[in-house]
A and B are shown apart, each in its own frame.
Chain A
Amino acid sequence: MGRIDRDVVIAVVLVVFTAVFYGATYGIRKTVYGTVGSEVWPRAILIALGTLCLIYLINSWRDRHETQGPRRGGGLRGWFSTYRNALLCFVMYALFLATLDYLGMLIGGILFVFLLLNLLGGWSPRRLAIHGAIAVSTMGAMWAVFTFGLRVFLPEGEILRIW
């Protein structure tokens, strides 16, 4: 998708987003107290946002032929290869959060750092050892600082609880 095509799509998505949120302002409960209703400020923002999005849409539509850049090769595969590392970080982080109740912050954190470093940096035996050492030492240190130094109750997870 070219750059301006993309801008047009983003502008349309933003207009729809604004419309949905504007509609949601009618669901905000009206109170008998208070001079200014709770929906006034969000509506003011959404009207401004909607206007800006329409300007953005018009500008993107008008300029689409002038600045349409060369298409990036590879389609979906190209997109995945460009954002591979970012996607890996997001997916791994989401997995870390999803398993937090079971693994806890310490074990989950060590696994998260270890796996992410391997995915980003490579899986050679030497790297596995280095990444393992980094994951255990950094997460262990952080967990100790927060648990014993700052007295924060980090999620311990079911595994540690069993032990």
Chain B
Amino acid sequence: MLIENVLGAAEALFTLQTMGLMVLGVAAGLIAGAIPGFTITMAIVLTLPFTYAMEPIQGLATMLGVFVGGLSGGLMAGILTGIPGTPSSVATTFDGFPMARKGRPGLALGIGVWSSFFGGVISAVLLMTLAPQLARVGLEFGPWDFFALVLFALTITASLSGDNLVKGLIAGAMGLLVATVGSDEINGVERFSFGFEPLEQGFSFLPVLVGLFAFSQLLSDVQDPVRARQPLMPPGAKAVRIEHAKAIREVLSRWGNLLRSSLIGVFTGILPAAGGSISNILAYDQAKKASKRPQDFGTGIPDGIIAPEAANNATAGGALITMMALGIPGDIVTAIMLGALLIHDVIPSPTFITDSPTLAYGIFMAFFFANFIMLGLQAVCLRAFVMVTRMRMYVLTGVILAYCGIGIFALNNIVFDMWTLLIFGVLGLAMKVLGFPLAPMILGVVLGHIAELNLNRALSTSDDLSLFFTRPWALFFLILAAYSSVFPWFQKDRGKKRWTLWFLPAMSISMAPPLFLMGGVVRPVIGGLLLAVGAYLLWGHARNGWRLKPVAEHDVHLEET
């Protein structure tokens, strides 16, 4: 069965046209990822209109190429100029730039490229093995569980999106509200159209997304008139020869760090809404903690490049696991991919992998091979990147704004979609200026329909609201949602206030009861392990006399990848 699926997917994927599109996608991603202020999400958004006319597998393979290329492209700018190309490569600059300044830019780039490659390949393997298993678990979910999962996704996005949890939650609720405008999917009743005809069908999902994200991002980029007229990067970036052989030896000799960082990346990606911007910092901190010479971090050592680069590429696989297995986007990029799938009438859900094996395995394989293409194109794109850095931001902005308009019009051939783009662009910029994070709102728009549909199904099946607390998976996600709501305070007070010593043990212990309720053998064993971990953490704190320890200096915040 597996071989059949793989062969079927290979037949669809390995055509000259699809491979050519993937090469173009990876090249575009590498260059876009290397430009500071031009995020991977923006590159994916710009690719999307070209995929409307493609077969679903072609469109997704192209976008995956952009995704993988973008994650790896950020390291070029970070290492050569010290300015990270994307938030996913912030930690790469901590050691990559010092190594380049010490006269080893080729080695630094090589280590970054090969760590990205190995991180991507490890996560691709995990994607292929874990996604079908998670989908099987997803088949157990009832509407109560899905509804609780959406709540968890929204609370964790809000809590990771900035210092102000309330603003994050308001943004999430606004997103859910936007999704209710127009004809109700279940009863076909019009809502919040206020007699305005174009609103009767509601807002299309993609114009809202592109407006909130890309339009507002472009306007932020040109807000400073002086910087808008300067080249994208200060002079200093120049193409260098990548030292592949030495880099491979350096990376493989530190396989422990590589594996740990890749796993951190994958599991951060699986977490709804957490992306590469978080995983690269987490992996760097863990590598530093695990190192015998932590004082060397920041001076230009290979471990400091391996950890963030392996983690940020591995995050992509993790995010795809959640999207493909549960239909819940792992981050904004996968939210857009979800939109692309919906355009082709493919609805990701726990049955997606079994119902559309060719497409599902095609996505697995495309992600796997995109990493190889990235490896081959890195040197070519390095030269292109050096040329692109001479461009002015205002030129890019003007051209891309027009392009966004054409792309969005092409979606439904409706001019109102372009107005939607403008309105949500204004809203997105206003929200940014006022300190409201955009990620929860985008997730709210994407997940609103799923939440409503499942709430409706749940209440239609039974009016017993206690089912949200008595069904094991629903309870599990609600417990996670509750802890994720407290997370911003935990992050703020960690190492300063004593209550934070209870946070992780309490979370670990509270997650165990739902797992016991699930029955079987594996889950109660995991529940038992969680109880043991919680007890061990408490014992450790008690042994230290409940003393507070200083914490790592890098805070974890979600930024658009």
Q: Give residues in A with beta carbon < 8 Å to B.
A: 6-7, 10, 14, 21, 24-25, 28-29, 31, 33-42, 44-46, 48-49, 52-53, 55-56, 59, 82-86, 89-90, 93-94, 96-97, 100, 105, 109, 112-113, 116-117, 120-122, 134-135, 138-139, 142-143, 145-146, 150-155
Contact = CB atoms under 8 A, between A and B. Distances in A.
Interface string B393-418: 01101110111011001100101001
Contact of B166 (A21, A31, A46, A55): A55
B501 to A, nearest CB: 26
B556 interface: no
A49 B410 contact: no
Nearest to A57: B166
B58 to A, nearest CB: 13
B147 to A, nearest CB: 11
Contact of A116 (B174, B401, B415, B434): B401
Contacts of B167: 56
A93 B422 contact: yes
Contact of A120 (B192, B394, B452, B459): B394
B180 A41 contact: yes
B402 A45 contact: no
A10 to B, nearest CB: 6
A117 B398 contact: yes
Nearest to A137: B399
Contact of B192 (A42, A117, A138, A146): A42
A115 B170 CA distance: 37
A35 B459 contact: yes
Interface of B: 49-50, 52-53, 166-167, 169-170, 173-174, 176-177, 180, 184, 186-187, 189-192, 194, 218-220, 222-225, 228-229, 392, 394-395, 397-399, 401-403, 405-406, 409-410, 413, 415, 418-419, 422, 425-426, 429, 434, 451-452, 455-456, 459-460
Contact of B402 (A36, A109, A121): A109
Contact of A38 (B184, B426, B434): B184
A121 B409 CA distance: 27
A153 B173 contact: no
Given A134-B399, A150-B53, A82 B425 contact: no
A13 to B, nearest CB: 10
Contact of B170 (A14, A24, A42): A14
Nearest to B220: A86
A148 to B, nearest CB: 12
A14 to B, nearest CB: 7
Q: DSSP class of B's interface residues: helix, strand, loop or mixed?
A: helix
* Ranked 7 nearest A-B pairs via Cβ: A120-B394, A38-B189, A49-B173, A35-B460, A38-B184, A86-B219, A116-B398
A99 B258 CA distance: 55
9 contacts: A36-B456, A41-B455, A48-B169, A52-B166, A52-B169, A85-B394, A89-B397, A105-B406, A150-B49
Contacts of A93: 401, 405, 422, 425
Given A55-B166, A113-B402, A134-B395, A38 B187 contact: yes
A151 B405 contact: no
A52 B398 contact: no
A113 B401 CA distance: 8
A150 B394 CA distance: 28
B222 A53 contact: no
Nearest to B167: A56
B99 to A, nearest CB: 36
Nearest to A112: B402
Residue from A31, A38, A100, A122 with most neighbouring chain B CB atoms (10 Å)? A38
A94 to B, nearest CB: 6
Contacts of A154: 406, 409-410
Contacts of A24: 192, 194
B422 A90 contact: yes
Nearest to B219: A86
Contacts of A55: 166
A89 B428 CA distance: 14
Contacts of A97: 405, 415, 418-419, 422
B187 A155 contact: no
A153 B459 CA distance: 44
B62 to A, nearest CB: 13
Contacts of B406: 105, 109, 142-143, 146, 154
A155 to B, nearest CB: 7
Given A86-B223, A152-B413, A155-B415, A45 B177 contact: yes
B173 A48 contact: yes
B409 A150 contact: no
Nearest to A134: B395
A149 to B, nearest CB: 8
B170 A85 contact: no
Nearest to A87: B219
Given A93-B401, A117-B395, A120-B398, A38 B191 contact: yes
